[in-house]
Amino acid sequence: MTDQTATRTGWLAPDELQSIRERVPLVYVDAVPVRVDDTGHVTHVGLLLRVMADGTISRAIVSGRVLYGERVRDALLRHLEKDLGPVALPRLPTSPAPFTIVEYFPEPDISGFHDPRQHAVSLAFVVPVDGDCVPSHSSIDLAWVTPQEAVSEEVRRDMTGGHDRLLRLALGYAGCLP
Amino acid sequence: MTDQTATRTGWLAPDELQSIRERVPLVYVDAVPVRVDDTGHVTHVGLLLRVMADGTISRAIVSGRVLYGERVRDALLRHLEKDLGPVALPRLPTSPAPFTIVEYFPEPDISGFHDPRQHAVSLAFVVPVDGDCVPSHSSIDLAWVTPQEAVSEEVRRDMTGGHDRLLRLALGYAGCLP
Amino acid sequence: MTDQTATRTGWLAPDELQSIRERVPLVYVDAVPVRVDDTGHVTHVGLLLRVMADGTISRAIVSGRVLYGERVRDALLRHLEKDLGPVALPRLPTSPAPFTIVEYFPEPDISGFHDPRQHAVSLAFVVPVDGDCVPSHSSIDLAWVTPQEAVSEEVRRDMTGGHDRLLRLALGYAGCLP
Amino acid sequence: MTDQTATRTGWLAPDELQSIRERVPLVYVDAVPVRVDDTGHVTHVGLLLRVMADGTISRAIVSGRVLYGERVRDALLRHLEKDLGPVALPRLPTSPAPFTIVEYFPEPDISGFHDPRQHAVSLAFVVPVDGDCVPSHSSIDLAWVTPQEAVSEEVRRDMTGGHDRLLRLALGYAGCLP
C-alpha cells in the first residue's frame, strides 16, 4: 500500500499513528452487542474474550477507531463485522447520537476509562445482533450473558479499562440494569 | 365480554372511557415506522392514510392508547401490528425512553399537538420495520416517502393534530431532517 | 371546591381517583434532584425521607401525578417545589424527552417498579437544583449523597418500589454510575 | 511556547495540525446556546456572527476542537467562554451524551455538514446560558432569535456548512421545532 493510498483509506503507518496519538484525541466507537426479544427488550449481552491493548486477556466489547473519511455508521459496522463475523446481522440504531460517550485517557484516574495507548473519545452504542456470531480477528471467544450476570463481580473482574462500567451504563440505557 | 373481564384486560366501555378522558391525561404511544439501510440510516418514512379522531381523512403515524396493566413495549407492538399488519416485523428500540413526548390537548394552542377527544401524553418512538406492511384495521393506505418528501408542504397539509411536526421531530432524532 | 372546578383543575375526589386507578395507567413524573459542578458533572444526589404509598418510611426521589390539562414541565416544577421548597431553583432539562420511563405496577414482579395503588407510567428526569432545599409537604428530610453512596447497599435497603434502581439508571444517564 | 508545552497543553503548531488533519478525524464540540424560561422551555437561540473557516461571514453556533488531554465538558466550557464571554453562565447538561453528532467532511456532499479544512466528528449540545453574553474572540456579534425565526429562510441563507440544519436538529431535540 503506498503512502497516498494509506492516507486516502485512513490507514496509517504505526509510527505515524503513534505520533498522532500523542497530539490529538482519536475518534472511536464502542458497541455493546445484545440479543433482544420481540419487544426490543435486552435478554443477553455479548462479551468478547480478547487480547487487550495492555496485553492482558479480558472480556471486552466491540471497540475501534473511526478512520479518516469514514462515516461513524460505517466504522460501527466494520468493527462489528470484524469482531462478530460477517453474518452477525447487526441492527444499528436509527439515531446517530450515542447513548453515552466514553473518554479514554492514558492515565487511569481522569475519567475512570483507561487506554494506555491514547486519549480517545468514543461514541458508545447498544447494537442488537440477530445472526450467528463467529468471533473473528483478534477475539478468542464470544459469550452471551444475562444482564444479571453482566453486573456480577465475576464479569467485573474480567474486564479492564472501565469496560465493565460501560456495560452497566449500556444496561441502564436499555432499562435492564438490575 | 363481562365488565370484570373488561377491567382486567384494560378495555373500557365507551361512556366509561369518556368519563375518564375528562379527568386524567391518558398514556399513549406514537410510532413513526421507517425503512432503514444496512447502517441504520433512515431511507423512508411510513405514513398511514386514515380516518382521524376529528373525522377528516389524513396522513398519520401509528398511535394508540396504553391499556391498564399493559407494558409500553407491548402497547407499541400491538398498535404497530394493528396498523401495519402481522408481518411488518417492527424492530422496537432497546431503550425504553421515547425520543420525545407529545402532549395532545383538546385545545389546539396549548402545545401545538391536538386531539379533540382528550388530554394525552404520548411516548414517541421511531421504529424500523423490515417486513411487508399491510394496512389493516382503520387504515386505508400506507405510503413510504423519503425524508425530503416527509417535510414537504404537500405532506404537511395532509396531516392534522401536529403529526406533521412530530414527523419532523422524528427525522431530526434520526439525523435525517433535511 | 365544586365538582366542576375540580375537573377543570385536574384535582379529583379520592373515590373518583380510586375508580380511575383501576381502569387506566396514570401519567406520572419522577425527578432525581442533583447538585452539579460548573461543568454540569453531578456531584450529589438528593434523597427525600418520606412516608411512602405503602406506609413505610423510605428514602425516595421526587414523584407525582400529571393533572388533567397540565403540561409535563409544569407538573415537574410543581412537584419539585412541593418537595424541595420554593427556593430550590430547579433547572429543568431543555428536552421534553425523559431519560427513561418507569412503569409502576400494583404487582411487584412485572417491571421491578412497584406502586401498590396503581399502574403508572412515569417520565423520569435528572434535575439540577441550585438553590436552598427545604423539604416541605410530606417529606421529613432531604439528604445529599455522592454517586458512590447512592449505589451503596445502605441506600438500596432504604428505598422501596424500585426507586433505588431508578437512581442507578439516573446515575448511568449522567455518566457517573460507579 | 516550547514544543513540549505545546504537546502537553494540546495546542499544536499550524503545520503539525494541518498534517494531522489529513490523517485522522478530529474531535469537536458544537454548542447551541439558548435562553430558557422557568420550566426549561427554549425561548431564544443565540447565533454568532463570525468569520468562518471558508472566509465568509456567517451566522454560526459555538464550535471548536477538543484538545489532547482535555475532558469534553471542559472543551465545551472553554469554547462557550471564548465565544460568549466570561459571564455567560452556561449550564452544561448533566448527561455526557450529545443530542446528535455532526460529521463534517471536506467534501460538502457526504453528510451535508461541511468543513473545508478537515474531517471532524462533533458532539452537539444544547446549552442554556443565564448570564450576559459578550461576543468575544473572533465573533463580531451575537443575536438572539426565536425558534420560529431560527428556521426562517433568512437565517438559513446566513449559515454555512450545515449549521442551519444543526440548528433545526437542536430545536427538534428541545421539542420546539416549528
Per DSSP, the residues of chain B read: --HHHHHHHT---HHHHHHHHTTSPEEEEEEEEEEE-TTS-EEEEEEEEEE-TTS-EEEE-EEEEPPTT--HHHHHHHHHHHHH-TT--B---SSSS-SEEEEEBSSTTTTS-B-TT--EEEEEEEEEB-S-----TTEEEEEEE-HHHHTSHHHHHTB-TTHHHHHHHHHHHTT---
pLDDT of the residue at B4: 44
The pLDDT score that the predictor gives to residue C153 is 95
Lowest mean pLDDT among C14-18, C77-81, D101-105: C14-18
Residue B5 scores a pLDDT above 50: no
Q: Inter-chain contact D98–A97, Cβ cutoff 8 Å?
A: yes
User: What integer pLDDT is reported at residue C51 of this predicted model?
Assistant: 78
D44 at interface of C, judged by CB pairs closer than 8 A: no
Pairing assessment for the beta strands B26-36 and B120-128 based on DSSP bridges: parallel
Cβ pair A91:B91 closer than 8 A: yes
Look up cell 465573533; give the residue. D139
Nearest CA in chain B to D163: B178
Q: How confident is the model at residue C50 (pLDDT cuts 50, 70, 90)?
A: confident
pLDDT tens track for A32-52: 999 999 999 999 999 999 876
Tell me which chain A residues have a C-beta less than 8 angstroms from the C-beta of B35: none
CB proximity D126 to C under 8 Å? yes
Do residue B71 and residue C103 have CB atoms under 8 angstroms apart?
yes
Q: Look at C175 and A169 and tell me if their CB atoms are within 8 Å.
A: yes
What is the average pLDDT across A112-119? 94
Q: What is the mean pLDDT of residues A7-18?
A: 78
Q: What is the pTM of this model?
A: 0.94
Distance, in Å, from the CA atom of D76 to the CA atom of D92, rounded to the nearest integer, reads 8
Task: Give the whole-angstrom CA distance, residue C10 versus residue C150.
Answer: 34
- Average the pLDDT over each of B9-18, B139-148, C103-112, D13-22 and give the range with the smallest value: B9-18
What pLDDT is stored for residue A8 in this prediction?
A: 52
CA distance D111 to chain B (A): 10
Contacts of C58 (CB under 8 A, 6+ apart): C49, C50, C52, C158, C159, C160, C161, C163
Q: How far is C126 from chain B (nearest CA, A)?
A: 13
Mean confidence (pLDDT) of chain C = 91
Q: Which one of C101, C168, C175 has the shortest CB-CB distance to A100?
A: C175
Chain A residues lying within 8 Å of C172, measured CB to CB: 100, 168-169, 171-173, 177
Check CB contact under 8 Å for D66 and A121.
yes
**Closest residue of chain B to A125, computed from CA coordinates:** B94
Distance CA B167, CA B152 (A): 11
pLDDT recorded at residue A9? 60
What's the CA gap between D28 and D33, in Å, rounded? 16
Chain B residues in contact with C27 by the CB 8 A cut-off are 24-27, 121
Closest approach of chain B CAs to the CA of C118, in angstroms?
Answer: 9
Q: Which pLDDT belongs to residue B31?
A: 98
Taking only the tens of pLDDT, chain D with its 178 residues reads 344 444 455 778 889 999 999 999 999 999 999 999 999 999 999 999 987 667 778 899 999 999 999 999 999 999 999 999 999 999 999 999 999 999 999 999 999 999 999 999 999 999 999 999 988 767 888 999 999 999 999 999 999 899 999 999 999 999 999 9
- Chain-chain contact of D22 with A7 (C-beta, under 8 angstroms): yes
Instruction: Please check whether residue D73 touches A, CB under 8 A.
Output: no
> For the ranges A39-43, B140-144, C120-124, which has the lowest average pLDDT?
B140-144
Q: How far is B105 from chain A (nearest CA, A)?
A: 28
Range name among B11-15, C10-14, C59-63 with the lowest pLDDT average? C10-14
Mean pLDDT taken over chain A: 91
Would you tell me which residues 131-170 of chain D have a C-beta closer than 8 angstroms to some C-beta of chain C? none
**Chain D residues with CB-CB distance to B175 below 8 A:** 100-101, 169
**Residue B66 pLDDT > 70, yes or no?**
yes
* pLDDT at A137 exceeding the cut of 80: no
A78 and chain B in contact, CB less than 8 A: no
The C residues from 106 to 125 touching B (CB cutoff 8 Å) are 110-111, 119, 121, 123
Instruction: Give the nearest chain C residue to A164 (CA atoms).
Output: C178
Query: Tell me, what's the pLDDT at C137?
Result: 67
